[in-house]
Amino acid sequence: MPYTLITIPFSHFCEKARWALDHHGLGFEERAYLPLLHLAGAMPAGQRSVPILKAGEKTVGDSTDILHFCDQVGSGTRLFPATPLDEAQPDAIEAWEEEFDRRLGPAVRLAIYAVLLEHPGYTRDFMVSSGKGWQSSVMRLSFGAVRRAISKSYGITPERTQRARGRIDDLFARVAQTLADGRPYLGGESFSAADLTFASLAGPLVAPPEYGAPLPPLESAPDDLRRLIDDFRNTAAGDFVMRLYADRHALT
């Protein structure tokens, strides 16, 4: 069956879906769109956000649902155990995955955009280079409007950015504490949806070279973006993200 994944290429939620497809050996075509322009790909599928997985006549429109779908049809090891979420323990894989999705993903997005939008020339050039064909031209001409729309959509303010940073710090500390007993993965001995979700959603803060799409280039990055990434790379949880990405690259 042919699979098509509709994405914003550098989106960490889209990275989560890409990784699940790779993990399960499910070949796919990626149709990538820039922010706001992604509506051209999402709305025909009856959605407004990405990722969206199209599997024949079936459409799966949420990153966690995509992970579950891949578990059902793929050939890799299961990402989720059979235990239902309402029966899970607080440190169970499903509970970790849900918390990362609900708290880490939005906080990372806000923290990254809060820095990027302060540097419109750098961010415009990155987005233009990430698009193809007509998208690059439209982004070059309309970046000012896109910048304002992103800031308004995510409610980017200094206060919200500070709260997001605190949420990220808390989750990074909890991940480090969980791994401190020597376990290789959050759930114990096996790679799971918890690890995949944490690594992909934290990816833009750590900028592993193996990330599944180009991220804002560090060699020309403004100082505050470099500091932000250095801060999170220099943590135990940041090391964990880098290891997971290196392992993923070695297996593909």
pLDDT tens figures, 79-124 = 998 755 445 454 589 999 999 999 999 999 999 999 999 999 999 9
Q: Give the residue extent of every domain in the chain.
A: 3-73, 85-251
Report the pLDDT value the prediction gives residue 240, as an integer from 0 to 100: 98
For the segment(s) 85-251, the CATH number from 1.20.1050, 1.20.1300, 1.25.10, 1.10.10 is 1.20.1050
pLDDT tens figures, 126-145 = 999 999 999 999 999 999 99
Report the pLDDT value the prediction gives residue 1, as an integer from 0 to 100: 61
pTM of the model: 0.94
Q: Which residues of the chain have pLDDT under 50?
A: 85-86, 88, 90
Do 62 and 102 touch, CB atoms closer than 8 A? no
The three-class DSSP label of residue 160 is helix
Sequence-separated (6 or more) residues with CB below 8 Å from residue 132: 32
Class of the CATH domain delimited by 3-73? alpha beta
Structure-token pair, residue 208 = 């592993």
